């Protein structure tokens, strides 16, 4: 059962994240977007508040919070800048995978840097020919003696490509299929690691995206996370949390769009009245608020389910991701409609929210894949 009331500590966490984001992200979001600036300094400032290791063990510098508290944080950060919040979500996902699956040596070698964001992390799963079908990935890691792996292959659409310091790479160490995949950390200065051009994207411009190439890339065997063959399990477990986080980012971005729409509707006058007096606008605002609330509740349920290791956690995460990202994008589009022509101008923040939230329906598994995950679980339950 989900308790809908936040504790005093969670209310304080929410206020802290909101205050930080409104002071440090929101005033700069438009500039970062237009000039494609990666805000390294501001991300490191976020790390000083524990936001680079939200649900990471305190012994290695993490904040030790739970998944619901992480969702609360990401909503607040995304209300100020969805693009920057989403990169921080990816970084936290990688840090969690290392903390949860890594041995003591690799945890203590990487996690203090991750939690301070002296080391920034990227997640490398998708390939040019392996997107939704992740188990078919081709990037290969072959043992070179007893000390190193040699990586060859390429990853596509990597957030932080060319700007991150460590890349969590899902690669093939064994036979075809999911059981032949392992997770290896590749550091940015590794010979044989290179990057494609910075992609020109519709949104998410404060985080750079590029192809990541491995050409006889020699990585110490100590950089293996977990055991050989654990990579697909690690990737999917990380994605459960990543889906909750990106759903929370959609809630945050959509909330900002709704708040802007309410203010604009009260100020904008047509036919002698503020447009907030028109029933058509009132109905839009009412639907936007209702749909936003349902999305937030689904995110909270998924976050609690994941934190409690509920048997239905994967399905709940998929449901929350599918609903919140679809609804978040819809709300932003409705907000643009309320703003009319002004909403289409880059002088107003609405068009950025529309662009930034659109990709949430694609990444961390497309929403069509979320539907498959949900349907499979429903059918398995019935068969059982």
> Active-site positions?
364
3-class secondary-structure state, position 167:
strand
Q: What are phi and psi of 335, to 5 degrees?
A: -65, -40
Query: Quick check: helix, strand or coil at residue 131?
Result: coil
- Residue 24 CB-density burial (10 A; 0-12 exposed, 13-18 middle, 19+ buried): buried
Handedness of CA 221, 226, 227, 229 (dihedral sign): negative
Q: Mapping DSSP to helix (H, G, I), strand (E, B) and coil, where does residue 7 land?
A: coil
CA–CA distance from 81 to each of 5, 25, 158, 251, 256 (Å)? 26, 6, 19, 12, 10
| Contact assessment for residue 75 and residue 247, using Cβ atoms and an 8 Å cutoff | no
Determine how many CB atoms are found less than 10 A away from the CB of residue 366.
Answer: 16
Spell out the alpha helix ranges (H) of 141-267. 231-267
Segments of the chain assigned E as strands: 121-124, 140-144, 148-159, 166-172, 181-187, 193-195, 209-220, 224-225, 269-270, 273-274
Radius of gyration of the chain (CA): 21
- The Cα–Cα gap between 122 and 298 comes to 27
Q: Is 219 helix (H, G, I), strand (E, B) or coil?
A: strand
């Amino acid at each position: 059962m989900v308790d809908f009331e936040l504790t005093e500590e969670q209310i304080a966490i929410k206020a802290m994240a909101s205050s930080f984001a409104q002071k440090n992200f929101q005033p700069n979001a438009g500039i970062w977007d237009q000039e494609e600036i990666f805000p390294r300094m501001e991300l490191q400032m976020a790390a000083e508040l524990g936001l680079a290791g939200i649900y990471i063990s305190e012994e290695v510098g993490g904040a030790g919070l739970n998944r619901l508290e992480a969702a609360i944080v990401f909503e607040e950060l995304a209300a100020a800048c969805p693009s920057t919040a989403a990169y921080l979500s990816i970084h936290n996902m990688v840090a969690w995978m290392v903390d949860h699956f890594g041995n003591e040596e690799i945890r203590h070698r990487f996690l203090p840097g991750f939690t301070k964001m002296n080391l920034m992390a990227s997640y490398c799963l998708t390939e040019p020919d392996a997107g939704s079908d992740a188990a078919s990935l081709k990037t290969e890691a072959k043992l070179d003696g007893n000390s190193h792996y040699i990586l060859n292959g390429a990853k596509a659409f990597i957030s932080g490509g060319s700007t991150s310091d460590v890349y969590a790479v899902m690669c093939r160490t064994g036979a075809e299929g999911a059981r032949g995949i392992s997770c290896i950390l590749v550091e940015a200065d590794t010979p044989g690691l290179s990057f494609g051009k910075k992609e020109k994207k519709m949104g998410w411009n404060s985080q750079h995206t590029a192809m990541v190439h491995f050409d006889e890339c020699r990585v110490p065997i100590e950089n293996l996370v977990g055991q050989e063959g654990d990579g697909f399990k690690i990737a999917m477990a990380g994605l459960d949390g990543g889906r909750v986080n990106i759903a929370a980012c959609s809630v945050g971005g959509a909330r900002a769009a709704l708040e802007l729409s309410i203010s604009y509707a009260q100020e904008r006058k047509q036919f002698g009245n503020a447009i907030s007096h028109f029933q058509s606008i009132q109905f839009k605002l009412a639907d936007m608020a209702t749909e936003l609330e349902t999305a937030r509740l689904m995110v909270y349920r998924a976050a609690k389910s994941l934190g409690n290791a509920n048997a239905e956690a994967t399905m709940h995460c998929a449901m929350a991701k599918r609903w919140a990202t679809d609804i978040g994008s819809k709300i932003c589009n409705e907000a643009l409609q309320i703003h009319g022509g002004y909403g289409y101008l880059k002088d107003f923040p609405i068009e950025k929210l529309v662009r930034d939230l659109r990709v949430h329906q694609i990444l961390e598994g497309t929403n069509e894949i979320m539907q498959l995950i949900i349907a499979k679980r429903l059918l398995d339950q019935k068969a059982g």
